[in-house]
Structure 1
Amino acid sequence: MKRKLAVIGNGMAGVRCVEEIYRLSPDAFEITIIGDEPHPNYNRIMLSKVLQGDTSITDITINEFSWYKERGIRLLLGEKAVRIDAGSKKIFLESGMTIPYDELILATGSSAFTPSIPGIHKSGVTAFRNIKDCETMIEASESYRRAAVIGGGLLGLEAARGLLNLGMEVHVVHNASYLMNRQLDTMSADMLKRELMKQGMRFWMEKRTEKIIGRKRAEGLQFSDGTKLVADLIVLAVGISPNIAIAAHSGIVTNRAIVVDDYMRTSVPHIYAVGECAEHDETVYGLVAPLYEQGKVLARVLTGADTAPYKGSIPYSMLKVSGVDVFSAGDIQGDVEVALQQYNGLHGTYKKVTVRGGRIAGAVLYGDSSEGMKLLDYLKKKTPAEVLLEQAVGPGTGGADAAVIAMADHETVCSCNGVSKGAIVKAIAEDNLQSVEQIRDKTKASGSCGGCKQLVGAVLACALAGAIGAAKKVTPICGCTPLGHEEVKEAIIKRVYTDSAQVREELGWSKADGCFVCRAAIPYYMGMVDEGNRDGADHEDYEDRILGNVREVFFNTKDIQLPYPVRTEMSENYLQPSDVLVRDFGLAAVPAGWEVYVGGHAEHPVKQAQLLAVEAEEDMALQLAAACVQWYRESAYYGERPWKWLERIGLQPLREKLLDRENQEELLNRWQAAERTEMAWSGK
């Protein structure tokens, strides 16, 4: 018998979690979704586009009624849940209906924050939070001409742009000295303000509203400094308040929002929370990407699949106003240093990147946000600031096309839905996609906040022009993923993963548990990254310690992790024949000293080992051979034999790498660290 799953909230977070649950285990639950609006699941973030006239209500609907019906989901709309009895596992609705559950997800979202201002409840005052608010503003524009938007943040500016499009005279009232003061610095905010003034917006900065004037209907604002602003429509855009009343009344621990742990569990068993109503590690997220990340974790918890814990998200913002391109992520103020700051007056672009402790901490882009997703990826992976020197491209000089061409296939284009460049390019090629809308429908890229739409368009343009695309054919690691060894290795190197399950989930494995091939390969690559983060041997006694163990380990390579089991040979008498030339790694005594060989193979196909170098002393030959094994460990693909590895990387590049004494010493340091760790694990 199916377990009963109830979801209070028909918004983006709750329904996305249900989508993930259905994908992982379609027959696990009998699902009921309770929503207080009369509409099916829609994209609340795109309401600004509806108001601006760029799209319709139908276009922002994520799941039509048919979607629920096809999956056997019971959808209760226009219903308000008022109480939960955790003891009997029942939900009581305002209409008198009772809904039983085995597992319950609270996805109640948030409401527009209503400040304590006299007159706030007058007719003519509205928030900008849902479809009804949007319809109220459109209706008001037909009878009135002057609007005031309280709030110069992201939502306030999007509402203001929509009201301009509706033909209204728009005044934006903000209590700070510059716009979007939580996301921008003064430079980018000033550029933004100048552009919006050109579009027709008028600004009242550092103004605090004391009351809303008017007898029966709002007629304007009075500020604390005694000045007044006449307006027929007042729009509130000053923040959100998590909807936690039902949780608080039902004995569930709340703070600013419903308190959850790393697996989205509340204080009451079998009750979970995701989205804007959830508070994780004292943080409440109002952006779609974190909400989707929470939903994925919870879906795996409820279906019994392995999952890494939710450890928080990097907040980022993209302003969705026609003619304006703004991106902001991470920390751009406070205890950070400015690592990069570029202004191009000709192109009207600005770029600023901050660092903390030598690692990228925040970024602001104005006028060209094509590098936004790459910088966000750096933030998530806590990338060292040195990468900025490698990737330095001035704003406005390359644009979206240059950013797309520079991206690796595994890099994220749509952060909300976790869609990579490679996934988009593959979809374009396989399904002959010709528009951003087709890409959205196929991959979900640009289907949530819409901030990546420009970048998705650039990927499409580059793919259709042949600048990117089906490129080189990559042999997948296994049947669970289209990704090759190099792509997976690079992803693991750039990001700290807690376990193999998280790697498989975030890189889009088709099988949550993987197969015997990738279950071995992923831990190997993670282990090599972990080794690279450890300190090697101290330089003072480096030679004494390395030479004391290298001979023993060289002839007993099972004591260290390797991409493939190898065979080694050492011939100490050049007058007697040996198998050095058909071994993976070998040393042979010769009159001039010692020859070091690599890449032999005694079975089919038989391969003769290649001469790497000749060393005068045995110790130096042993060190070179050990460094070669270590480089094989670090750069070979899991399951790749040494002869195949050598054919792939080439003998000459290998010599250049290993005959550089500094490189050789670093490799030997890492060899020694790995050998010590393996010995410790084995108890030797």
Structure 2
Amino acid sequence: MRERLVVIGNGMAGIKCVEEVLKLAPERFDITIFGAEPHPNYNRIMLSKMLQGDVAFDDIVLNDWAWYPEHGIKLHAGVRVDRIDTASRVVVAADGSKVPYDVLVLATGSSAFIPPISGADKEGVMAFRTMEDCEALIQSAGSYRKAAVIGGGLLGLEAARGLLHLGMEAQVIHNAPYLMNRQLDPTAAGLLQTELERRGMVFHLSKNTVKITGRKRANGLRFADGSTLDADVIIMAVGIQPNIELAKECGLRTNRAIVVDDYLAASIPGIYAVGECAEHRGIAYGLVAPLFEQARVLANVLCNRETAPYTGSIPYSQLKVAGVDVFSAGEIGGRGIITAFQQYDGIRKTYKKVTMVNGRTVGAILYGDTSEAPTLLKAVQFGEEAAKLAVSEGGENPMETAVMAMAEQETVCACNAVTKLTILQAVTRDGHKTEEEVRKHTKASSSCGGCRPMVQVLVKLAASGKAVAGTTEEPAAAEKVPVCGCTSLDPAELKQAVNSLSASTPGEAFALLGWRQKEGCEVCRPAVHYYLGMQKSSEKAFKPRSSAIYGSTKPSMVTFIHDGALEQGSGAESCTGLVAELKLRWNGLSFPVPITAAVAAGTASPAAVLIRDIGLAACPAGWEVYAGGSGRPVREAQLIGVSETAEEAANLAIACLQLYRKEAWYDETLWKWLERAGLLSVRETLYDPAVQQSLLAELRELPQPVETA
């Protein structure tokens, strides 16, 4: 008898999972799909192209109405699920239907995030997320001309491009000093802004909207600096919010999204989550490629196939922004990140930047020509040596050069995991001679479309037999540097060695380690003091932090700076209680180096959270938590995460510093530790619910410090 598989969500992630299941075990399940929208599965990324008049709805449909019955799938289109009875394993829908399940997949996606701006509920304020939103915008264009888009990210720019096509004004409001600030640097953003202004867009940067004016219908915006802007149609494009109401009501564990493990399993047996509604290791992804990676892993799990776990994704974008090709991957700026090389071609209007840490590639930007995107994405994913990346000289056909240099197993279409070899075989073995034929056969370029230029060139070269694979080399091992002349141990080895000892004093530790100097030196002595102190403070029997452990080394405390503006009330929680809570939790603790912390009304406030070791800043979505800032040398802090409440932000900051205390080497600054440990790794660790709770519990169990002479 077939198992009953119910999927709630008819979007790209859920249907990708179903497609993979049908490939692996087409006879295993009776499949039922609920979709809130009255449409077949379509490519949401292409809505902007439809708004711009480039495609019709039929062109963006991924699986038409006939596909469902052809594969034995029962589709409830335009039907919302009201509740999930986890005890009886039944899904109850708004149309009265009750569908039992053996396996349930939640692929409920996300909705547009509407920031808490006064007047956001007025008529004329809308999102740009669904087919219905797109139709509403087209209808509004028949009556109104003045339109404003709040949000200068990718979605906002695509919406603005659509407004221009509809004959409306396109005023873009962004709270950062440059466009797409999470994906681009100021240079690439400046090039993009110049091009978009040439096409008719108008930008208002570093503007914070505080009110949407008008009585019943919106007629304009008011900004924090007192200035205003007339607008009859206002589009919110500031981010997404995972749809987790069903999950919460049925008792599933949720945070920002539905918490899942490395096999996409939720907290109740038999239920899984995939896509934008799933939170893996503290991260909810909103890009196509990670969602499809999740779907492939989950399909293997559902079919009882052996599979590697899903361990997270490197965020990247390869898209066409209002007609301009843009690629961005990894970390493009911030503390400890160095520019490996930049290249700007003023004639071709192309720009390339590669960033590195300790010589290893950590990020890349391409503007105007994205032919090298697969090569650079691989370099970021594997941390390849930046010096070994070839810098193209802007030859006659750089796209062909990049394609010919690719290894056959390199991915061309990350959304659908299509490799160069798959496309070669589609042409040379299966006889598909055009880019459209290859797309239908392999699905390459059928999702976001960012790889389409490369697929076109690859098909052309494959037909001519010129698509030659390249090679890569293994990175060299790092050189070992001893802590000091007293030992041959490097910092990592010293910490490990001390932690493995049963010593109570530094003298005992030096004797057991066979130190060259009986009492060590001014370099190694404080380090051993610190490691022993950390070791003893984790033992419940250890009470005072006395000089027997610390010797002459005093605890390195946390210095607080905070912005009093929040205390007077600014729409966010007061920072007074937050600072008090953090001081209480960090009181008397030792750190590898003295720490500075800041709590502020925003990243631009006088508290300057971006140059502190740990910083918490209020934002429209709640609180942003930063780590790794420095005033000397000046290094910008990295975003660790966003929390909805002050309590969640405090827990994230507390867990971050506890992880730093446990993992860092003595005298290693927080930014150096973050650089060594890897920002992505630290984020994933801190957002693992079990790990974060363990770190918090460790601090709660520590005894209050006893001051000694």
* TM-score, normalization by structure 2: 0.65
What's the CA shift for 1:321?
2.9
Q: Deviations over 1:587-630 (max 9, x none)?
A: xxxxxxxxxxxxxxxxxxxxxxxxxxxxxxxxxxxxxxxxxxxx
1:59 aligns with 2:62: no
User: Quick one: distance in 2 between partners of 1:425 and 1:295?
Assistant: 25
Q: In the superposition, relative to structure 1, how do residues 340 and 295 fare at CA in structure 2: closer, same or farther (>3 Å)?
A: same
Matched-pair contact (CA < 8 Å) for 1:260–1:266: yes
Q: Tell me the residue number matched to 1:35.
A: 35
Matched-pair contact (CA < 8 Å) for 1:149–1:160: yes
What fraction of aligned residue pairs are identical, expressed as a percent?
55
User: Quick one: distance in 2 between partners of 1:387 and 1:412?
Assistant: 20
Matched-pair contact (CA < 8 Å) for 2:34–2:79: yes
Give secondary structure in 2 for the equivalent of 1:241.
Answer: strand
User: Quick one: distance in 1 between partners of 2:35 and 2:47?
Assistant: 18
User: Quick one: distance in 1 between partners of 2:73 and 2:384?
Assistant: 43
Give secondary structure in 2 for the equivalent of 1:65.
Answer: coil
User: Quick one: distance in 2 between partners of 1:182 and 1:402?
Assistant: 29
Query: Cα RMSD between the aligned structures?
Result: 2.1
What's the CA shift for 1:533?
8.1
Matched-pair contact (CA < 8 Å) for 1:6–1:105: yes
User: Quick one: distance in 2 between partners of 1:433 and 1:285?
Assistant: 34
Q: Tell me the residue number matched to 1:302.
A: 302
User: Quick one: distance in 1 between partners of 2:15 and 2:166?
Assistant: 32
What's the CA shift for 1:393?
1.2
Q: Deviations over 1:17-60 (max 9, x none)?
A: 01111110011111110110000111101111111111111011
Q: Tell me the residue number matched to 1:436.
A: 435
User: Quick one: distance in 2 between partners of 1:436 and 1:57?
Assistant: 21
Q: Tell me the residue number matched to 1:337.
A: 338
User: Quick one: distance in 2 between partners of 1:50 and 1:219?
Assistant: 26
Q: Deviations over 1:563-591 (max 9, x none)?
A: xxxxxxxxxxxxxxxxxxxxxxxxxxxxx
Matched-pair contact (CA < 8 Å) for 2:8–2:35: yes
User: Quick one: distance in 1 between partners of 2:141 and 2:420?
Assistant: 41
Q: Deviations over 1:531-588 (max 9, x none)?
A: x98999xxxxxxxxxxxxxxxxxxxxxxxxxxxxxxxxxxxxxxxxxxxxxxxxxxxx
User: Quick one: distance in 2 between partners of 1:39 and 1:375?
Assistant: 37
What's the CA shift for 1:467?
5.7
1:359 aligns with 2:374: no
User: Quick one: distance in 1 between partners of 2:152 and 2:394?
Assistant: 25
Matched-pair contact (CA < 8 Å) for 1:349–1:396: no
What's the CA shift for 1:356?
2.1
Matched-pair contact (CA < 8 Å) for 1:381–1:494: no
Q: Tell me the residue number matched to 1:348.
A: 349
Q: Tell me the residue number matched to 1:240.
A: 240
Q: Deviations over 1:617-666 (max 9, x none)?
A: xxxxxxxxxxxxxxxxxxxxxxxxxxxxxxxxxxxxxxxxxxxxxxxxxx
Q: Tell me the residue number matched to 1:135.
A: 135
What's the CA shift for 1:236?
0.8
Q: Tell me the residue number matched to 2:620.
A: none
What's the CA shift for 1:328?
0.5
What's the CA shift for 1:431?
4.5
User: Quick one: distance in 2 between partners of 1:75 and 1:68?
Assistant: 7
Q: Tell me the residue number matched to 2:404.
A: 405
What's the CA shift for 1:410?
1.9
User: After the TM superposition, which residues 478-517 of structure 1 pair with which residues of structure 2 at under 5 Å, given as runs?
Assistant: none
Q: Tell me the residue number matched to 1:650.
A: none
Q: In the superposition, relative to structure 1, how do residues 111 and 395 fare at CA in structure 2: closer, same or farther (>3 Å)?
A: farther
Q: Deviations over 1:407-437 (max 9, x none)?
A: 2222211111111122212212345434332
What's the CA shift for 1:109?
0.3
Q: Deviations over 1:167-203 (max 9, x none)?
A: 2111000011000011111111111111110111000
Q: Deviations over 1:260-280 (max 9, x none)?
A: 000001111110000000000
Who wins on radius of gyration, i.e. which is larger? 1
Amino acid at match of 1:367: G
User: After the TM superposition, which residues 590-629 of structure 1 pair with which residues of structure 2 at under 5 Å, given as runs?
Assistant: none
Matched-pair contact (CA < 8 Å) for 1:368–1:395: no
User: Quick one: distance in 1 between partners of 2:49 and 2:474?
Assistant: 35
1:280 aligns with 2:280: yes
Q: In the superposition, relative to structure 1, how do residues 118 and 434 fare at CA in structure 2: closer, same or farther (>3 Å)?
A: same
Amino acid at match of 1:468: K
Q: Tell me the residue number matched to 2:555.
A: none
Q: In the superposition, relative to structure 1, how do residues 203 and 322 fare at CA in structure 2: closer, same or farther (>3 Å)?
A: closer
Matched-pair contact (CA < 8 Å) for 1:350–1:395: no
User: After the TM superposition, which residues 248-267 of structure 1 pair with which residues of structure 2 at under 5 Å, given as runs?
Assistant: 248-267=248-267
Matched-pair contact (CA < 8 Å) for 1:351–1:395: no
Give secondary structure in 1 for the equivalent of 2:5.
Answer: strand
Q: In the superposition, relative to structure 1, how do residues 494 and 443 fare at CA in structure 2: closer, same or farther (>3 Å)?
A: farther
Give secondary structure in 1 for the equivalent of 2:160.
Answer: helix
Q: In the superposition, relative to structure 1, how do residues 100 and 318 fare at CA in structure 2: closer, same or farther (>3 Å)?
A: same
Show structure 1 runs of 4+ deviating over 4 A: 395-398, 532-536
Q: Deviations over 1:233-252 (max 9, x none)?
A: 11110000000011011110
Matched-pair contact (CA < 8 Å) for 2:158–2:322: no
User: Quick one: distance in 2 between partners of 1:357 and 1:533?
Assistant: 12
User: Quick one: distance in 1 between partners of 2:395 and 2:287?
Assistant: 27
User: Quick one: distance in 1 between partners of 2:288 and 2:179?
Assistant: 22
Matched-pair contact (CA < 8 Å) for 2:325–2:450: no
Q: Tell me the residue number matched to 1:584.
A: none
User: After the TM superposition, which residues 94-243 of structure 1 pair with which residues of structure 2 at under 5 Å, given as runs?
Assistant: 94-243=94-243
Q: Tell me the residue number matched to 1:468.
A: 466
User: Quick one: distance in 1 between partners of 2:115 and 2:386?
Assistant: 41
Q: In the superposition, relative to structure 1, how do residues 54 and 445 fare at CA in structure 2: closer, same or farther (>3 Å)?
A: same
What's the CA shift for 1:322?
4.1
Give secondary structure in 1 for the equivalent of 2:42.
Answer: coil
User: Quick one: distance in 2 between partners of 1:6 and 1:57?
Assistant: 27
Amino acid at match of 1:147: A
User: Quick one: distance in 1 between partners of 2:181 and 2:330?
Assistant: 13
Q: In the superposition, relative to structure 1, how do residues 104 and 226 fare at CA in structure 2: closer, same or farther (>3 Å)?
A: same
What's the CA shift for 1:462?
2.6
Q: In the superposition, relative to structure 1, how do residues 120 and 377 fare at CA in structure 2: closer, same or farther (>3 Å)?
A: same
User: Quick one: distance in 2 between partners of 1:208 and 1:535?
Assistant: 48
What's the CA shift for 1:397?
6.1
User: Quick one: distance in 2 between partners of 1:394 and 1:136?
Assistant: 46
Q: Tell me the residue number matched to 1:446.
A: 445
User: Quick one: distance in 1 between partners of 2:478 and 2:340?
Assistant: 27
Q: Deviations over 1:472-492 (max 9, x none)?
A: xxxxxxxxxxxxxx99xx79x
User: Quick one: distance in 1 between partners of 2:323 and 2:332?
Assistant: 24
Amino acid at match of 1:385: A
What's the CA shift for 1:381?
2.3
Q: In the superposition, relative to structure 1, how do residues 405 and 36 fare at CA in structure 2: closer, same or farther (>3 Å)?
A: same
Matched-pair contact (CA < 8 Å) for 1:360–1:378: yes
Aligned length, in residue pairs: 479
User: Quick one: distance in 2 between partners of 1:255 and 1:224?
Assistant: 31
Q: Deviations over 1:453-508 (max 9, x none)?
A: 111122123334x2625x7xxxxxxxxxxxxxx99xx79x879xxxxxxxxxxxxx
Give secondary structure in 2 for the equivalent of 1:62.
Answer: strand
User: Quick one: distance in 1 between partners of 2:160 and 2:443?
Assistant: 28
Matched-pair contact (CA < 8 Å) for 1:374–1:412: no
What's the CA shift for 1:93?
1.6
Amino acid at match of 2:421: G
Give secondary structure in 1 for the equivalent of 2:62.
Answer: coil
User: Quick one: distance in 2 between partners of 1:395 and 1:181?
Assistant: 26
What's the CA shift for 1:124?
1.5
User: Quick one: distance in 2 between partners of 1:103 and 1:138?
Assistant: 40
User: Quick one: distance in 1 between partners of 2:63 and 2:211?
Assistant: 41
Q: Tell me the residue number matched to 1:674.
A: none
User: Quick one: distance in 2 between partners of 1:447 and 1:278?
Assistant: 23
Q: In the superposition, relative to structure 1, how do residues 494 and 215 fare at CA in structure 2: closer, same or farther (>3 Å)?
A: farther
What's the CA shift for 1:83?
1.6
